Chain A
Amino acid sequence: MLAQQGKWIGQSVERVEDAALLNGRGRFIDDLGAKPGTLHAAILRSPHAHADIVSIDTAAARASPGVAAVITAAELADITAPLVAGVRAPIETRPIAVERVRYVGEPVAVVVAADRYLAEDALDFIEVSYKPRPTVIDPLAALAADAPVLHEGLGSNLVSERHFTYGDPERAFASAPHRVSVSVRYPRNTGSPMETYGVIAEYDPHEGAYDILANFQGPFSIHAVMARALKVSGNKLRLRLPPNSGGSFGVKQGVAPYAVLIAAAARIVGRPVKWIEDRLEHLSASVSATSRVTTLSAAVENDGRIVALDWDQIEDCGAYLRAPEPATLYRMHGNLNGAYDIRHIRVRNRVVLTNKIPSGLVRGFGGPQVYYALERLMQRIAVTLKLDPLDVIRRNLIPAGAFPYRTASGALYDSGDYARAVALAVEKGGLDDLRRRRDEARAAGRLYGIGYAAVVEPSVSNMGYITTVLTAEERRRAGPKNGAQATATITLDPLGSVTVKVASAPQGQGHRTVLAQVVADVFGLSKDEIQVSTELDTAKDAWSIASGNYSSRFAPAVAGAAHLAAVKLRSKLARIAAAQLNVRAEDLVFAGGKIFSRTNPDAALPFARVAATSHWAPATVPDDAKDALSETLFWTPPELTAPTDADAINSSLCHGFIFDFCGVEVDRVTGKVRIDRYVTMHDCGRVLHPGMVEGQIRGGFAQALGAALYEELAYREDGAFLAGTFADYLLPTATEVPDITILHMESPSPFTPLGAKGVGEGNCMSTPVCIANAVADALGAEAIDLPLTPAKLAALVHGEEPTPPRDMFKPRVSKPGERRIIGAGETRVRAAPELVWKMLLDTDVLASVIPGAHGVKKLSETRFLADVTLGVGPVKGRYKAEIALSDLDAPKAARLSGSISGALGNGEGSGVVHLAPDAQGGTVISYTYEGAVGGKVAAIGDRLLDGAAKVVIGQFFAALARQIGAEEHRPGLMARLLARLLALFGVRR
């Protein structure tokens, strides 16, 4: 072939994507015009973690202005089928709840209306009656014999259990002098791209075909899942991607069920339907990484060498198993030894369901969970055997001469020199200096620690790894699955210019730029002459189930496929040029926009002319260079074979190496972590664009920092979702992300066309545990779980804080899906207690001082019904409140109890009001309240919710004081006012 030195590959050229994005001319899904007549959808979601849907009354919503349809499971039953998952199990996963909800945020109904505002208006009018069920959130509790079962057909919450043995772990454990174990819980977190999901869908009843535009990211194996769920053949589901996508990090795979939901809605209304997810929906009901409980033990020699590992992993996939799950658990199956030479491995894998958001792809996909356990174990081995943790890592590394290295569980590590990478990082990253800093800090009495993590970063997933969840027998029955088809198409137009099309679904990674570099190098053109399109259309473009942007496959697989397609086309062009120039094709060089003979540079032709020949004069083209118009190439690496009968699986094609270390200081008082220095060494094979590689590392690091210190999709034990806004789910900002030292080494992959490996996910695997190891070192802590919040660490430093005493109320046990609020306050009014008392019992006064009240009805002397509108953070809605007064002790004290319900949530609670005369003849009103709030409102974070409670109750008393000032002679209001307010916050005794 006509190999030549690449001019563009390896350069940090400016990105072709940027000019448009910097000018606000990106074309994200919500920027694209929808067809005239397009309707807009809004989704009603479950406020309960687990409940039966007793009834849904949509009549009022249907009558609401602009509403075209209100769609529930009943309307979808005929035109949709379940979404299939990675294992066959008697679980029905549908895009909308059928008769029962199993997590907070699960879709219950869809309103389709003329615009989004009207659609959201109508959501408030849908009346759903739920019968709550017991909830299970903890994956271990989900396995208990008496645990509430989510899917009766399954009989329990255990979807899959498999045991694996590689080598002879039993003997290794029996003969090794030490056994060291860790038990860790990896929390729920997510990629949370800045752009949420979006879908625009349409159905053509004449063709019986769907056309869906969605900011989906692949894998396109899910196209098959969507087509089946919509009950059409694959060619009747045209899936298109917008030109730009605002980040994904795996998460936008999860738009698939919504694409099905909106497409089916479009079919029902007979019009195009558009849906853009909001942030609360995204955080509560898009996709989460799996949470995992892992117990990992090692059989260890005296010098720290690990002979065997024993993995026990309990994977929490949430309320439903959605494709490609349980893939998170198996993505790392070939890599369970990490960067270490360990020949004996035992594995027990269990997949359980709980009342949480279903899991799916999130950057790192299985890596963070595995390495958190493995690298915590390395640190524990060092501490237990009193060794230097770095020595323990070094002693276990796979030796440089061993590549390609076949792991115990079947992965084939392509290339690397781990020991050298560690040595380089230690030297260039200044580990000695960091150790000095630690010694100084400790000498000064500060809590300072150093952490390490060595990680093998897999990329280019084998489509067959998921089938490791099946037994060999089940796999035989289902037929083998393997490979990782990547594709690229290169087209030459009649003016001889070059266009590249790929099915790579970028979400900001600059694929167009890199492909232009790769193809320009092959043709000897300038990168600016290459036009690249990444707007995938399944009806027109080449794609396969492996297409998409996941498992860091772009550089190793997609860019490689583009390179191979270009090389193939180039060899045809060389033959055409050779015929015209009368030279040997082998002697031709492509450079500077020309094709010329190496031996006789005067024999030259412009590239464009040769490239256009097959359009203008096909008859002149030699037989062995026919059809040099367009080349579509599919490439799948032969190394990615199906699992063997012994369950050995080469789960990924490429294996990069990362070695991180960091120094952190934990504030003794607050428990806050400060990162003093962070060094990350990467070997991702050949680097195609250094600037973008650095961007992937920095971005991955920032996400990992969030996972380490701040982020958790938190649930209360009863299933209430606690992280519905960016004030609760805390992404790191510029002030939290420290500068890091990035180092590189290049061990090209022998298995990929360009020698590149993936790099996008590594820090999500290495950084959380590296920081945790440093914190463990600083605190001398043995067990430590993410996120490492100040509260958690302060408790490790000082012991748990005592719970504040509560004198007014006995603590209430919360019901599922609720959130507790407690508060107290005091206000003064100028009127005497007797007058205040009377006003409190007056309906009119109540109606005028309850914030947001539209009307108060008196049911009896001590019971009132109110209609109120309240907003808490971004969640505003109408509620019905019922308030009762009791324990009346005129004019000194009263108890108010109430309950409230509305589309956005429910609450109940109680409060006590005390009236006491002050020295000036006025009254001191003091109050305490305690309540619980459930539903959408409960997903708003503590700060907002507690703050809102304070504000509303404060408003109530301020209004009351005003009212008393204005109408000193009118009797009785306070009771109702208080009652309503308190009820809003769930106050009841």
Chain B
Amino acid sequence: MPRLNAGTRHVVRFTLNGRPAAFEVEPRMLLTDALRHLLGATGTHVGCEHGVCGCCTVLIDGMPARACLTLAVQAEGCEIRTIEGLAPSPARLSILQAAFRRHHALQCGFCTAGILMSLEAFLATRPDPSAEELREVLSGHLCRCTGYAPMIAAALEAAAKLREDAVHV
């Protein structure tokens, strides 16, 4: 691991939602701050900055991670996915996103980005989840608006739809 100097800025190069990206940061800068304020990727939210709420969840090399507990310099060479990269095209929602809208699985939408990222990663490895498993996944996130039930319904529906689509390909 390279040694980084606390006082100086370091150029960090990585992939953000499939495109090359870079920022220049002090080693202490959090990934949340760098994504949001240096790159303008403000879809990743900060609810607690201590790793509990899950609002800041992004995918780092396919794995869900708390961006608030990740230093920006740790992004070096990684593939990072955020909420901004979820929709297939600007005017279309992904199957999971559309299911969330249909089931009113969001209200204020502040927790939503992190939850969608966790579910996206989970459904990729577990295409036929039970409601119980989804509850487990969601329990890594706090939502203060919805009471969670509509999210589980949405995720179940999205999983079914994704399986169907996979069969037809």
Contacts and interface: CB of A to CB of B under 8 A. Distances in A.
A196 B113 CA distance: 16
Interface string A745-771: 000000000000000000000000000
Given A25-B43, A195-B45, A737 B147 contact: yes
B36 to A, nearest CB: 7
A24 B110 contact: no
A235 B97 CA distance: 43
Nearest to A116: B33
B104 interface: yes
Which of B36, B93, B101, B104 counts the most chain A CB atoms within 10 A? Answer: B104
B84 A23 contact: yes
A592 interface: no
Nearest to B114: A194
A755 B147 CA distance: 27
A727 to B, nearest CB: 6
B108 to A, nearest CB: 3
Nearest to A726: B52
Nearest to A251: B144
Contact of A279 (B49, B97, B101, B147): B49
Interface in B21-58: 26, 28-29, 33, 36, 41-50, 52-53, 55
Mostly helix, strand, loop or mixed at chain A's interface? Answer: loop
Nearest to A875: B50
Interface string B69-88: 00000000000001110110
B53 to A, nearest CB: 6
Contacts of A279: 47-50, 53
Contacts of A15: 101, 104
B45 to A, nearest CB: 7
Interface string A11-22: 010110111011
Interface in A506-536: 507-510
B29 A117 contact: yes
A246 B144 CA distance: 9
A698 interface: yes
Q: Please classify how large the interface on chain B is, using the bins under 10, 10 to 19, 20 to 34, 35 or more.
A: 35 or more
A698 B110 contact: no
Contact of B110 (A23, A116, A246, A701): A246
Given A17-B109, A23-B83, A247-B110, A735 B149 contact: no
Given A22-B116, A727-B52, A739-B149, A699 B104 contact: no
Contacts of A245: 108
Given A733-B141, A734-B138, A21 B147 contact: no
Contacts of A691: 104
B107 interface: yes
A31 B41 CA distance: 9
A725 B68 CA distance: 14
Given A22-B93, A24-B82, A508-B107, A695 B145 contact: yes
A733 B143 CA distance: 7
Contacts of A132: none
B150 interface: yes
Given A15-B104, A18-B109, A194 B45 contact: yes
A874 B147 contact: no
A192 B108 CA distance: 13
A14 B143 CA distance: 20
Contacts of A734: 134-136, 138-139, 141, 148, 151-152
B147 A698 contact: yes
Contact of B87 (A23, A702, A727): A23
Contacts of A726: 48, 50, 52-53, 142
Contact of A725 (B28, B48, B102, B136): B48
B111 to A, nearest CB: 5
B12 interface: no
A738 to B, nearest CB: 9
Contacts of A873: 50
A125 B86 CA distance: 43
A731 B142 contact: yes
Nearest to A20: B109
A508 B108 contact: yes
B42 A278 contact: no
A194 B143 contact: yes
Given A249-B144, A726-B142, A874 B109 contact: no
16 contacts: A15-B101, A22-B97, A22-B100, A25-B84, A26-B109, A196-B47, A247-B108, A508-B106, A508-B109, A691-B104, A692-B104, A698-B147, A702-B144, A702-B148, A734-B134, A737-B147
Interface of B: 26, 28-29, 33, 36, 41-50, 52-53, 55, 82-84, 86-87, 90, 93, 97, 100-102, 104, 106-113, 116, 134-136, 138-152
> Which are the 8 A-B pairs with shortest beta-carbon distances?
A24-B43, A508-B108, A21-B109, A246-B110, A698-B147, A24-B83, A734-B138, A726-B52
Given A17-B109, A116-B33, A733-B139, 6 more contacts: A14-B102, A24-B82, A30-B36, A695-B104, A734-B139, A734-B151
